[in-house]
């Protein structure tokens, strides 16, 4: 069975038909071709599918697509600015080696983004807390935590330069 | 060779931007036109005869394109002993056995169709314990072996042992002897990206497989054999490696699901993707091999080791995958970790009706190092010798030849042990201190110069220079997140003399890359860089030979241009052009004439004469030279290839002898921890890892390997275990199977690298991919003994096991 859905995705209005049983993850990946959001478990255990819903980190595998009605969804693709400029969080992950196989990275990046929207200067403890729903088998998390600390300072210095926050700054 | 500049510096991975922005394509993301989705029906029993399979209702489901079973498809043999089949026909031997498969328009339809397949079984008695499976009259898992010969019992026909010296005499000579029995579980590699593939035939009958593999070329061989079994003689498989969502050993074998995708693609004439979800991966993908290890070690009055006796029993499960060969890797630490004159090693591998196991990082080494290192602490206690001291006394040394014949080149084990002791402030806190706190240490030894397990242990590489000064690299090994491509970049940039961003490592594809045995045994960087160095030597020789003629003309041109007001050559990497020394009208060009190839140099993408003038017009960008070589009559383009086979020996496994690696990596880890006496919870306070990796090639990737390994070692030590009952997996999800999270990894870690400059290694480096997790569990076990006064000999060392060890009467 299909139903109509209208929501904002990465800053643009999307109007589409979706299967009523589709998860937000299915709509993003199979319906809209945004395969940056990953499925690592399909059960809310790994965080690979993390996206922002009205600025908060949610598991796209646990949310029905229709629940996105009238909401603002941002995916990892939506953090990339004009001309392919990576966001501060994404750049910091690259620079600090926060992505190894990279399968957890989109979810990690989105969890970090949600955290920094809420707390621009989080303590290490706060960072680890924000990551407990995101599993990574490759890194041992240390370089990811370092990346998020770096992202926080990058964002602060960019904000200090009076620049508008990068895409996704408002979630 | 140019002076090292980028090797040893922090450099981001070239593939990281695509990964963090969601552009990298994993097998989950790859779609082919007209692609169908496959799903596999697995056995409902651990041991049963298949009487009848009725697929008619599944076939009738709209959207289903094909349903196949072992009865209507060619028999495809799987596994190195060839006793497994892609689809089972006679009987099922464990709960993951594949008995039918569906291709449908979408994954849901395919899975729904599976439920409509009816199977009638005759249930057989099953056996789930390797000791019971060896008893006379035990249910026979395989009545015949892979070649159709009747079997005598349930033992896997794999021999690996080592006996050197007189064991009984050594025991008698020993002042102290300690024995112990250790048990390590199956654990899941738990790649965040689950396993899957796409198979597609073209109209010639040739096959392409997009695979999540670490062995593209061995997979090509396996799949080509399958094509033959399907009656497609002479057809070829092309294996394309997608971005891997983790490897950790899961990609070292070919799997039934891949052969089933091939059968479905052949039946339907369309591309077919088979992708496991998390629960399927837990249930149906081979975990790490489990083991029971009996060990006995002795020492003399001074603490010198007198002998080591190790007997391993492995529950092989229903079929042989690489888990069955773990003893071949155990051989190295058993015979060669510390100086030990008498070694007896025996291994028994037994079929049961359980799941069967494959490789995982460390491959037998962590299993047996747990026993060796934990037992060594007990021996030190029995002998009244400090635990650090017994490791110093027996430490390996450079130049040593070990009982198995491993020829130790560089060896920094002593420095690693000392570094651990110093960083952990070992002396300041020996023993228990009332708060159930303890410190522990363990050492390790692993192959560091690849590990020869096939007749060829080689890696080929192709370097292709283009008109733009790019170095296009074709390498058959697999980047799976470890940082192989960024390491190759740094090595080529330095050795060739270009900037790293000009080095472009292409995706691994058997159609374009030269042969490589596979990315295992911590060999990626060691092999790729050694092969690259050889190809670079050839490239530079050819380039400079052309420079003898071409360089003078190019300099003249550059000078002319600059006099005419053109810009001087721009150094690569976008640095500002150097305008400091404008060419004088009468600049003397004779320096460029009549030069020998050896007079030229290439650095940062600029070609120049070594003792020529230090002026911008006297340094010609590599791309200019390459175009000059290319665009002329009888032109040429520079492509070089190298095939590197390391200096090592294929061991005789029955004797357990042979120098299996070109180099050996050493290391030690130490930990301080505290146990909550109420709950049995372990809190890690700090960790030290010290590793002799020869030379740090790529610090960011190396840190990542060690820290990631340590996290896996922590999971192995404290949390992870695939639980089974009558062959069924009880915890197929991340709620019941606990991986370390950022929270468990919150403790500080000191990373120490000991650089011993290995002569066989590229830039002096040794392999470092696996060692991170090898000594972690015994270091923790030793710290727990220090804290609690009791030995934990079964992994994982869960709170329940700790509480039980503290108070055996409690439960
Ligand atoms: S896929 Fe959503 S939490 Fe794992
Ligand atoms: S980078 Fe591989 S799972 Fe995190």
Among B517, B314, B743, B315, residue whose Cα is nearest residue A131: B743
Q: Is the peptide bond before B796 cis (omega within 30 degrees of 0)?
A: yes
Centroid of ligand 2 to alpha carbon of B605 (angstroms): 34
Cross-chain residue pair A90–B20, CB shorter than 8 Å: yes
| Rounded Cα gap, residues B209 and B271, in angstroms | 9
Give whole-number Cα distances, B782 to B74, B270, B382, B438, in Å: 53, 56, 14, 8
Compare CB distances from A86 to B20, B25, B712 and report the shortest one's residue: B20
Compare CB distances from B734 to A45, A93, A100 and report the shortest one's residue: A45
- Distance from A167 to chain B by nearest Cα, in Å? 12
Whether residue B78 contacts residue B256, with contact meaning beta carbons closer than 8 Å, is answered with yes
User: Tens digit of pLDDT for each residue in B485-513?
Assistant: 999 999 999 999 999 999 999 999 999 99
Cross-chain residue pair A141–B745, CB shorter than 8 Å: yes
Helix B524-563 and helix B484-492, axial crossing angle in degrees, nearest 10? 40
Q: What is the pLDDT of residue A6?
A: 98
A133 lines ligand 1 (CB under 6 A): no
Based on the domain organization, do B91 and B239 belong to the same domain?
A: yes
Q: Is residue B603 part of a domain?
A: no
User: Tens digit of pLDDT for each residue in B431-458?
Assistant: 555 679 999 999 999 999 999 988 999 9
Q: What is the pLDDT of residue A169?
A: 43
Whether residue B665 contacts residue B692, with contact meaning beta carbons closer than 8 Å, is answered with yes
Which ligand ends up closest to the CA of A102?
Answer: 2
In this structure, what CATH number is given to the domain that contains residue B396? 3.30.365.10
Alpha helix positions (H), B631-735 = 699-714
Q: Taking the domains of chain A in order of start, what are their residue ranges?
A: 2-78, 79-163
Nearest chain A alpha carbon to B737: A45
Nearest chain B alpha carbon to A133: B741
What the block records as the tokens of B599 is 């007079």
Q: What is the pLDDT of residue A167?
A: 44
Cross-chain residue pair B741–A46, CB shorter than 8 Å: no
Whether residue B223 contacts residue B253, with contact meaning beta carbons closer than 8 Å, is answered with no
Centroid of ligand 2 to alpha carbon of B21 (angstroms): 14
Cross-chain residue pair A137–B20, CB shorter than 8 Å: no
Give how far the C-alpha of residue A82 lies from the chain's centroid of Cα atoms, to the nearest Å: 18
The 3-state secondary structure of A94-136, one letter per residue: HHHCCCCCCCCHHHHHHHHHHHHHHCCCCCHHHHHHHHCCCCC
For ligand 2, atom 3: residue with the closest CA: A136
Whether residue B13 contacts residue B87, with contact meaning beta carbons closer than 8 Å, is answered with no
What the block records as the tokens of B477 is 């090994």
Task: Please choose from A28, A48, A131, A133 the residue to mutate so as to test ligand 1's pocket, defined by most ligand atoms within 8 A of CB.
Answer: A48
Lowest mean pLDDT among B159-163, B455-459, B558-562, B693-697: B558-562
| Rounded Cα gap, residues B501 and B493, in angstroms | 8
Q: Is residue B560 part of a domain?
A: no
- The DSSP code for B94 is S
- Considering Cα of B36, then B42, then B44, then B49, what sign does the dihedral take? positive
Residue B212: pLDDT above 90? Answer: yes
At residue A58, φ and ψ (nearest 5 deg) are -135, 160
Based on the domain organization, do B265 and B383 belong to the same domain?
A: no
Helix A142-160 and helix A124-131, axial crossing angle in degrees, nearest 10? 120
Lowest mean pLDDT among B207-211, B432-436, B528-532, B763-767: B432-436
| Rounded Cα gap, residues B651 and B454, in angstroms | 10
| Rounded Cα gap, residues A141 and B743, in angstroms | 9
- Which fold, A79-163? DNA polymerase; domain 1 (1.10.150)
| Rounded Cα gap, residues B644 and B655, in angstroms | 27
Centroid of ligand 1 to alpha carbon of B185 (angstroms): 26
The band of B564, judged by pLDDT with boundaries at 50, 70 and 90, is confident
Based on the domain organization, do B269 and B359 belong to the same domain?
A: no
Give how far the C-alpha of residue B473 lies from the chain's centroid of Cα atoms, to the nearest Å: 21
- Distance from A112 to chain B by nearest Cα, in Å? 12
Average pLDDT over residues B573-578: 50
More confident residue, B699 or B1: B699
| Rounded Cα gap, residues B309 and B375, in angstroms | 11
Give the alpha-carbon dihedral of B707, B711, B714, B718, to 10 degrees.
170
What the block records as the tokens of B553 is 């003309």
Nearest chain A alpha carbon to B704: A139
CB pairs under 8 A between A and B: 175
Residue A65: pLDDT above 60? Answer: yes
| Rounded Cα gap, residues A137 and A47, in angstroms | 12
A33's CB contacts (< 8 A; 6+ apart) are none
- Distance from B340 to chain A by nearest Cα, in Å? 34
Based on the domain organization, do B263 and B359 belong to the same domain?
A: no
Among B79, B82, B102, B87, residue whose Cα is nearest residue B43: B87
- Full strand arrangement of the beta sheet holding B118-123: B91-92, B48-54, B118-123
A49 lines ligand 1 (CB under 6 A): yes
Cross-chain residue pair A140–B708, CB shorter than 8 Å: yes
In this structure, what CATH number is given to the domain that contains residue B217? 3.90.1170.50
B1 SS3 class:
coil
Flag whether residue A151 sits within 8 Å of chain B, measured between CB atoms.
no
User: Tens digit of pLDDT for each residue in B694-735?
Assistant: 999 999 999 999 999 999 999 999 999 999 999 999 999 999
Ligand 1 atom with least separation from CA of A46: 4
Based on the domain organization, do B261 and B408 belong to the same domain?
A: no
Task: Please choose from B20, B212, B243, B246 the residue to mutate so as to test ligand 2's pocket, defined by most ligand atoms within 8 A of CB.
Answer: B246
- Distance from A89 to chain B by nearest Cα, in Å? 9
Q: Is B724 exposed, middle or buried (0-12, 13-18, 19+ CB in 10 A)?
A: buried
A25 SS3 class:
helix
* Residues in B 743-772 with any Cβ partner in A closer than 8 A: 743, 745-746, 749
Task: Pick from B714, B742, B750 the residue to mutate for testing the A interface (most A CBs within 10 Å).
Answer: B742
Q: Count Cβ atoms below 10 Å from residue B415 Cβ, excluding itself.
A: 18
Task: Please choose from A39, A51, A133 the residue to mutate so as to test ligand 1's pocket, defined by most ligand atoms within 8 A of CB.
Answer: A39
Q: What is the pLDDT of residue A168?
A: 44
> At which of B275, B290, B308 does a domain end?
B275
B85 SS3 class:
strand
Q: Count Cβ atoms below 10 Å from residue B311 Cβ, excluding itself.
A: 16
Flag whether residue A41 sits within 8 Å of chain B, measured between CB atoms.
yes
Q: What is the pLDDT of residue B569?
A: 59
Domain around B215: 36-124+195-275
Pairing label, strands B207-211, B237-241: parallel
User: Tens digit of pLDDT for each residue in B235-244?
Assistant: 999 999 999 9
User: Tens digit of pLDDT for each residue in B329-352?
Assistant: 999 999 999 999 999 999 999 999
Q: Is B800 exposed, middle or buried (0-12, 13-18, 19+ CB in 10 A)?
A: exposed
* Residues in B 725-744 with any Cβ partner in A closer than 8 A: 733-735, 739-743
Compare CB distances from B745 to A37, A95, A142 and report the shortest one's residue: A142
| Rounded Cα gap, residues B263 and B666, in angstroms | 45
Residue B574: pLDDT above 80? Answer: no
Cross-chain residue pair B710–A140, CB shorter than 8 Å: yes
Nearest chain A alpha carbon to B281: A41
Instruction: Supply angle C-alpha B353, B355, B360, rounded to 5.
Output: 145
Give whole-number Cα distances, A75 to A42, A47, A59, A137, A148, in Å: 17, 13, 11, 22, 18
Flag whether residue B108 sits within 8 Å of chain A, measured between CB atoms.
no
User: Tens digit of pLDDT for each residue in B166-194?
Assistant: 999 999 999 999 999 999 999 999 999 99
If residue B291 lies in a helix (H) or strand (E), which one and from where to where?
Answer: strand B291-299
| Rounded Cα gap, residues B722 and B481, in angstroms | 25
* Residues in B 240-299 with any Cβ partner in A closer than 8 A: 243-248, 277-278
Nearest chain B alpha carbon to A37: B22
Based on the domain organization, do B266 and B118 belong to the same domain?
A: yes
Instruction: Supply angle C-alpha B528, B530, B535, rounded to 5.
Output: 90
If residue B343 lies in a helix (H) or strand (E), which one and from where to where?
Answer: strand B343-351
A107 lines ligand 1 (CB under 6 A): no
For ligand 2, atom 4: residue with the closest CA: A136
Compare CB distances from B481 to A79, A109, A138 and report the shortest one's residue: A138
- The DSSP code for B575 is P
Q: What is the pLDDT of residue B681?
A: 96
Q: Is residue B727 part of a domain?
A: yes
Give how far the C-alpha of residue B681 lies from the chain's centroid of Cα atoms, to the nearest Å: 31
- The DSSP code for B415 is H
B561 SS3 class:
helix
The strand pairing partners of B671, in sequence order, are: B440, B687
B268's CB contacts (< 8 A; 6+ apart) are B36, B65, B66, B103
Nearest chain A alpha carbon to B482: A100
Compare CB distances from A35 to B22, B191, B277 and report the shortest one's residue: B22
Q: Is B775 exposed, middle or buried (0-12, 13-18, 19+ CB in 10 A)?
A: buried
Flag whether residue A158 sits within 8 Å of chain B, measured between CB atoms.
no
Interior/surface letters A61-71, b for 16+ CB within 10 angstroms, e for the rest = bebbbbebeeb
Centroid of ligand 1 to alpha carbon of B255 (angstroms): 25
Ligand 1 atom with least separation from CA of A133: 3
pTM: predicted TM-score of the whole model, two decimal places: 0.96
> At which of B275, B301, B317 does a domain end?
B275
Average pLDDT over residues B395-404: 98
What percent of chain B stands above pLDDT 70? 96
Give whole-number Cα distances, B183 to B334, B440, B543, in Å: 16, 19, 58
Which ligand ends up closest to the CA of A103?
Answer: 2
- Distance from A130 to chain B by nearest Cα, in Å? 9
> At which of B275, B299, B333 does a domain end?
B275
Q: Is residue B348 part of a domain?
A: no
Based on the domain organization, do B413 and B270 belong to the same domain?
A: no
**Is 3.10.20.30 the CATH classification of the domain at A2-78?**
yes
* Number of domains within chain B: 2
B576's CB contacts (< 8 A; 6+ apart) are none
The 3-state secondary structure of B531-551, one letter per residue: HHHHHHHHHHHHHHHHHHHHH
Give how far the C-alpha of residue A43 lies from the chain's centroid of Cα atoms, to the nearest Å: 17
Q: Is residue B774 part of a domain?
A: yes
B178 SS3 class:
strand
Greatest CA separation for chain A: 50
The band of A166, judged by pLDDT with boundaries at 50, 70 and 90, is very low
The strand pairing partners of B184, in sequence order, are: B291
- The DSSP code for B752 is E
Residue B536: pLDDT above 90? Answer: yes
Region label for B446, one of left (φ > 0), alpha (ψ between -120 and 50) or beta (otherwise) = beta
Q: Is residue B780 part of a domain?
A: yes
- Distance from A90 to chain B by nearest Cα, in Å? 6
What the block records as the tokens of B676 is 């909550």
Instruction: Supply angle C-alpha B328, B332, B333, rounded to 5.
Output: 120
Based on the domain organization, do B233 and B95 belong to the same domain?
A: yes
């Amino acid at each position: 069975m299909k139903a109509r859905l209208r929501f904002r995705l990465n800053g643009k209005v999307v109007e589409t038909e979706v299967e009523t049983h589709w998860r937000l993850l299915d709509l993003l990946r199979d319906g809209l071709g945004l395969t940056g959001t990953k499925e690592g478990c399909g059960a809310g255990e790994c965080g690979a599918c993390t996206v922002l819903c009205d600025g908060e980190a949610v598991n796209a595998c646990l949310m029905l697509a229709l629940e996105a009605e009238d909401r603002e969804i941002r995916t990892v693709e939506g953090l990339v600015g004009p001309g392919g400029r990576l966001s501060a969080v994404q750049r910091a992950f690259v620079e600090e080696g926060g992505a190894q196989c990279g399968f957890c990275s989109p979810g990690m990046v989105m969890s970090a983004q949600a955290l920094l929207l809420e707390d621009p200067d989080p303590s290490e403890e706060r960072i680890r807390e924000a990551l407990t729903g995101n599993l990574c088998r490759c890194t041992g998390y240390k370089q990811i935590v370092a990346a998020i600390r770096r992202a926080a300072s990058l964002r602060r210095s960019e904000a200090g330069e009076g620049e508008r926050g990068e895409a996704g700054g408002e979630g | 060779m140019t002076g090292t500049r980028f090797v040893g510096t922090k450099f981001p991975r070239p593939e990281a931007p695509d990964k963090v922005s969601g552009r990298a394509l994993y097998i989950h993301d790859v779609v082919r036109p007209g692609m169908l989705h496959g799903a596999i029906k697995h056995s409902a029993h651990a041991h049963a005869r298949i009487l009848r399979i009725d697929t008619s209702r599944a076939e009738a489901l709209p959207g289903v394109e094909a349903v196949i079973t072992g009865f209507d498809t060619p028999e495809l043999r799987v596994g190195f002993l060839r006793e497994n089949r892609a689809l089972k026909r006679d009987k099922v031997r464990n709960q993951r056995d594949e008995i039918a498969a569906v291709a449908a328009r979408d994954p849901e339809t395919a899975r729904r169709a599976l439920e409509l397949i009816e199977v009638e079984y005759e249930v057989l008695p099953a056996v789930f314990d390797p000791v019971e499976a060896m008893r006379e009259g035990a249910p026979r898992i395989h009545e015949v072996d892979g070649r159709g010969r009747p079997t005598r019992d349930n033992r896997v026909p794999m021999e690996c042992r080592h006996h050197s010296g007189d064991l009984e005499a050594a025991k008698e000579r020993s002042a102290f002897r300690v024995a112990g029995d250790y048990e390590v579980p199956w654990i899941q590699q738990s790649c965040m990206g689950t396993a899957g593939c796409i198979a597609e035939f073209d109209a010639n009958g040739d096959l392409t497989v997009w695979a999540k593999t670490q062995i593209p070329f061995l997979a090509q061989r396996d799949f080509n054999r399958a094509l033959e079994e399907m009656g497609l003689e002479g057809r070829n498989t092309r294996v394309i490696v997608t971005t891997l969502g983790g490897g950790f050993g899961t990609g070292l074998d070919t799997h039934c699901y891949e052969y089933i995708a091939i059968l479905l693609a052949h039946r339907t004439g369309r591309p077919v993707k088979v992708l496991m979800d998390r629960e399927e991966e837990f249930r149906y993908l081979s975990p790490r091999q489990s083991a029971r290890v009996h060990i006995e070690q002795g020492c003399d009055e001074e603490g010198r080791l007198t002998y080591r006796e190790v007997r391993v029993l492995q529950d092989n499960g229903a079929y042989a995958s690489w888990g069955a060969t773990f003893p071949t890797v155990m051989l190295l630490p058993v015979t060669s970790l510390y100086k030990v004159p008498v070694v007896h090693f025996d291994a028994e591998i037994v079929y049961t009706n359980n799941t069967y196991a494959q490789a995982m990082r460390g491959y037998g080494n962590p299993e047996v190092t747990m026993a060796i290192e934990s037992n060594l602490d007990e021996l030190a206690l029995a002998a009244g010798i400090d635990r650090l001291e017994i490791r110093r006394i027996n430490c390996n040394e450079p130049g040593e030849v070990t009982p198995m014949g491993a020829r130790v080149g560089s060896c920094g084990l002593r420095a690693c042990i000392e570094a651990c002791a110093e960083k952990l402030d070992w002396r300041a806190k020996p023993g228990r201190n009332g708060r159930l706190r303890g410190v522990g240490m363990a050492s390790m030894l692993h192959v560091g110069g690849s590990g020869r397990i096939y007749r060829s242990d080689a890696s080929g590489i192709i370097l292709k220079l283009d008109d733009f000064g790019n170095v296009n690299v074709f390498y058959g090994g697999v980047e799976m997140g470890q940082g192989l491509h960024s390491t190759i970049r740094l090595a080529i940039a330095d050795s060739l003399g270009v900037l790293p961003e000009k080095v472009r490592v292409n995706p691994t594809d058997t159609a374009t890359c030269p042969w490589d045995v596979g990315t295992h045994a911590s060999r990626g960087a060691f092999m790729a860089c050694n092969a690259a160095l050889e190809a670079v030597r050839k490239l530079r020789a050819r380039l400079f030979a052309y420079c003898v003629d071409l360089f003078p003309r190019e300099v003249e041109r550059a000078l002319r241009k600059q006099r005419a007001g053109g810009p001087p050559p721009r150094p690569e990497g976008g640095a500002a052009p150097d305008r400091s020394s404008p060419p004088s009208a009468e600049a003397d060009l004779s320096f460029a004439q009549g030069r020998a190839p050896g007079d030229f140099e290439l650095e940062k993408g600029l070609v120049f004469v070594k003792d020529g003038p230090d002026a911008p017009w006297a340094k010609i960008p590599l791309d200019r030279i390459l175009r000059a070589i290319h665009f002329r009559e009888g032109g040429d383009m520079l492509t070089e290839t190298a095939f590197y086979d390391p200096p090592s020996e294929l061991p005789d496994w029955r004797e357990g002898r042979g120098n299996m690696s070109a180099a050996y990596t050493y290391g030690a880890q130490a930990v301080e921890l505290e146990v909550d006496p109420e709950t049995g919870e372990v809190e890690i306070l700090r960790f030290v890892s010290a590793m002799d990796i020869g030379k740090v090639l790529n610090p960011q990737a190396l840190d990542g390997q060690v820290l990631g390994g340590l996290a896996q070692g922590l999971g192995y030590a404290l949390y992870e275990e695939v639980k089974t009952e009558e062959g069924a997996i009880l915890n197929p999800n991340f709620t019941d199977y606990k991986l370390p999270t950022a929270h468990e990894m919150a403790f500080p870690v000191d990373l120490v690298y000991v650089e011993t400059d290995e002569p066989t290694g590229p830039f002096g480096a040794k392999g470092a991919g696996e060692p991170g997790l090898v000594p972690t569990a015994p270091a923790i076990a030793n710290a727990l003994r220090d804290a609690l006064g009791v030995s934990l000999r079964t992994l994982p060392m869960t709170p329940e096991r700790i509480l039980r060890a503290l108070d055996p009467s409690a439960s």
